[in-house]
Amino acid sequence: MKLSARNQLSGTVKSINKGEAIANVALDVAGQRLVASITVEAVDDLGLSEGTQVTAIIKASDVIIATDA
């Protein structure tokens, strides 16, 4: 698969927490935790489970960081 997106991170599914419609999929990306919120249908369609090797593709125009300081 070829994509124009350059922010591609290889990782491993560590856990999946399914709700009614949305699932939080926790990945291990080079020792860092990354959580993606995707539909339960997408989890099932992709056949995701703990240990699955995946590529996280990140498309964002902004990253906003805030503190109380």
Going from the N-terminus, what domains does the chain have, and what CATH number goes with each? 8-57 (2.40.50.100)
DSSP output for 8-60: EEEEEEEEEEE-SSEEEEEEEETTEEEEEEEEHHHHHHHT--TT-EEEEE---
CA 11 to chain centre: 9
What backbone torsions phi and psi does residue 6 show, to the nearest 5 degrees?
Answer: -95, -15
Which mean pLDDT values do the consecutive 10-residue runs of the chain (69 residues) have? 85 98 97 95 97 91 80
Q: Which two tokens stand for residue 6?
A: 């350059």
pTM as predicted: 0.84
What's the one-letter identity of residue 55? T
